[in-house]
Structure 1
Amino acid sequence: MNKTLRSITLGKFVTIASAGLILVSASASADTLDFSGLSIGAQGSTVLVLPNATITSFGSDIYVGAAGIDHEICALTGGGNCEADLRVDFSTAVNSLSFVTSGWHSGDHIDVNVYSGASLLGTVGHSSNGLVDLSAFSLVTSIYLDDSSIGGAGMAYDHFIFAPVPEPETYAMLLAGLGLLGFMARRRKESAV
């Protein structure tokens, strides 16, 4: 194989490998908070530790299955309603966060305070069953569900979906891949001359 053909073949391989590295390093898959392994009922604790988040109830307990759905949680008050405040601290910063509320009754309301570290990014009010879309916020490290329900039974929460923010090593791999592509493009241009 002559030198020019070998250089072109190597260049194509490096380009394909670099593009693959860039795609792998740049992609972030969706993640969820999974409550399916928990038994239905009171958990006997105000703190629930999951692999990707820690959930803290500011009431008497954390309850699973409050609105008759087996994979949802709520923060119980001493009176047995789901009206206590709840905080979710993510293990790493997340983007594209959303979750679903259920069990809403007239008078139920939450304010979702969204944080990145100690900085409050914003607050979203919610007074119905359905999707709470927090995808407008980036680098979210925690959310505080401030329940101000009056006369209802409180809400339950489920289907927390988010995209973990890539670690710095991922960005280093992305930069290395881009640098390799630039090097190969320069090398091709020089060998064409």
Structure 2
Amino acid sequence: MIKKSVLCAAILIAPFMATPALASIDTYTAFLYGSNETGGGDTDGFGVATVLIDNAALTVSWSIMANNIELPLTGAHIHAAAAGVNGPVIVDFSGSLTGSRLYDADLASITPMNPTSFYVNLHNASFPAGAIRGQLQYVGTAMAPVPEPETYALMLGGLGAIGLLVRRRQAARG
């Protein structure tokens, strides 16, 4: 009887002992100004972009606030280049101020060690080469819990074992 009680207690406690993995989400910001554009941008325009790179889910998410520039946007991107230099597009935001998309190989080049080697810029009809622009700055890494399949399997196994014990007990009584 004591063995069954200990086994039952262990099965009940086991799912709560499993700890979920933590996802690493790197956060970057860019302060956007027309004066940062090479070749000239919208001098009245300004904004801020927040970029989240989730290294576990392999996604990039962004939220951009833009002021005093003409909308709609004709483009929004992250480019690879230092301040004052134009560079190739690394991440295409499809002209959207907010969104999320799957991670691609080029995104892996953005790391907390080199964020200023990349910039965000917004394009519109009046400024097709870029209305406002800003270099990325690393803000920090957030650790978010990610449920693991093993945790759920352990929990389901424990519930199944409890069910078997209850069934055996009822069969022994009946």
* Greater relative contact order structure (CA < 8 Å, 6+ sep): 2
More helix by share: 2
**TM-score range, shorter-chain basis?**
0.3 to 0.5
Choose 1 or 2 for highest CA Rg.
2
TM-score norm. by structure 1 comes to: 0.44
